Amino acid sequence: MMKILYGKWLSGICWSCGLVFLLGGGTVAAQQRITLSECITKALESNYSIKIIRNQAAMAKNNVNYSSFLPTLELTAGQTQRRESVKTEDASGVENKQSGLTVNNYSAGVGLNWRLFDGLEMFITHEKCKELHFLSELSLQQAVESLIVEISSAYYNVLIQQHKLIANKHSLDISSERYEEAKLRYELRNLSGLEMRQAKIDLNADSSVYVQQKEMLKSAYITLNNLMNVELQLDNYVQDTILLGPVLTLTELEKQTLELNTALLMARKNQRISALDLKNARAVLFPTLDFNSGYNYDKTKNPASASRLNRSNGFYWGFSLNVPIFNRLESRTKLKNAKLELENTELTYQEVEQETLSDLALLFNTYENNLLMVDFESESAMVAEENLDAALEKYKIGSLSGIEFREYQRSYLEAVDRKLSALYQAKVSELSLLLISGNIQVSIE
């Protein structure tokens, strides 16, 4: 079972700017609400890649045992039969011929072999299996962390597309109201009808944009459903508030990254495994000592033999010592290569650390800029909405032309779109920083 330890990235899905989007009305049906936490849990339970990596981690765990310290015990048994023709001649020249003789041989035994010393290779092998198990768990953790970010990004994208749909619906309603107003003026005042026709064109354009936005929302749901491995056509279950977390600082993120980043932890484990491989390469230079014991049974029936029955059985035991003297320099070559491999893992860690810190700096720069854009675009969207309301009132009393009103309407839609895009990019940047700094954590039970 996998349990997600949600930190401040989930429990504090808050936005310091105070901008709150509340879903409402037309786009949300009576579908049961599913939270981000539930979406993540569902994805972790059903995602195929996670299942495969989890099985691989379980296999690595199975390899952590004490088999290298234990003796081997074998039971052998066999039976052979052969047909013979025998001719003998004694000193006096008398011949003796026998044909069609059956010779039977039966054998059985139990053998025990226990390696008592192998240059500590058995201890090193056991330690390496544990490190490989830890490495497999880190691989699983890395996959889970990436999936959490992917699910969260898809979830927030659904929310953004919903709010864009709400804004487009609001604009469509205004265009409809403008068209009815222009139509009424045309009918009552006997005007040329130019404004009414232009209002109709704008209404049709907004209707088209609204339909396209519904398609975008549906596509966002399909992407999220695919990640959770559920029915692709499910929709209208996301009803949430998008908020940014507390402002992150680069100094603290760098410290956490060096301590908790999963890629760096895996690189350290690879260093440890290479160090154990070096010890294993040195272990082959030492002698090995084995203890052997067992019980053998052998029985032969031969009618042509002077002794028709020959049987032997009994226990045996002893020690065997193997001292390596010369093996065509293979041990020395393995030792040199193991040293180079250890050096490579150390260089790899330094490279991963440098690249990770570089990625962190780039992400943080983007994150800071996105926060500024959220502030600017939020203010612009608020002002654009106020201008649109004021422009609508002026249009109704005839002090504002349709072309001028349309510019206010277009400015409102553009401002809302920029605000939502800035919010989404800021949230994605925040999630990326939490991922690289190791603040999206998992525990395996």
Q: What is the mean pLDDT of each run of 10 residues along the chain (445 residues)?
A: 37 33 34 85 89 93 91 93 73 71 88 91 92 94 92 94 93 90 78 82 93 95 91 86 88 94 95 93 90 91 73 91 86 90 94 95 94 91 91 85 88 93 93 91 39
pTM: 0.79
Q: Does residue 98 belong to any structural domain of this protein?
A: no
Phi and psi at residue 77, to the nearest 5°: -155, 145
pLDDT given at position 231: 87
CATH number at residue 149: 1.20.1600.10
Q: Alpha-carbon distance 151 to 227, whole Å?
A: 7
**Is-contact 194 186, C-beta < 8 A?**
no
Q: Does residue 243 belong to any structural domain of this protein?
A: yes
- In which region does residue 161 sit, left (phi positive, over 0), alpha (psi from -120 to 50) or beta (all else)? alpha
Q: Does residue 168 belong to any structural domain of this protein?
A: yes
- Encode 46-83: b = buried (16+ Cβ within 10 Å), e = exposed: ebeebeebbeebeebbeebeeeeeeeeeeeeeeeeeee
pLDDT given at position 112: 93
Tokens coding 170 = 């609001």
What are the distances in angstroms from CA 154 to CA 40, 147, 221, 271, 409?
A: 11, 10, 8, 36, 29
Phi and psi at residue 271, to the nearest 5°: -60, -45
Beta carbons within 8 Å of 377's beta carbon, 6+ residues apart: 415, 418, 419, 421, 422, 423
- Parent domain of 428: 2-71+117-289+326-444
Q: Alpha-carbon distance 283 to 335, whole Å?
A: 10
Phi and psi at residue 33, to the nearest 5°: -75, 135
Residue among 144, 14, 20, 123 nearest 440 (CA): 144
Q: Does residue 171 belong to any structural domain of this protein?
A: yes
Q: Alpha-carbon distance 106 to 299, whole Å?
A: 5
Q: Does residue 96 belong to any structural domain of this protein?
A: no
Side chain identity, residue 35: T
Q: Does residue 307 belong to any structural domain of this protein?
A: no
Q: Does residue 407 belong to any structural domain of this protein?
A: yes
Neighbours of 349 (CB within 10 A): 17
Side chain identity, residue 195: E
State the total domains in the chain.
1
Q: Does residue 304 belong to any structural domain of this protein?
A: no
Please give the full DSSP string across 273-313, using - where no structure is assigned. Answer: HHHHHHHHHHHTTS-EEEEEEEEEEEEEE-TTSSSSEEEEE
pLDDT given at position 191: 60
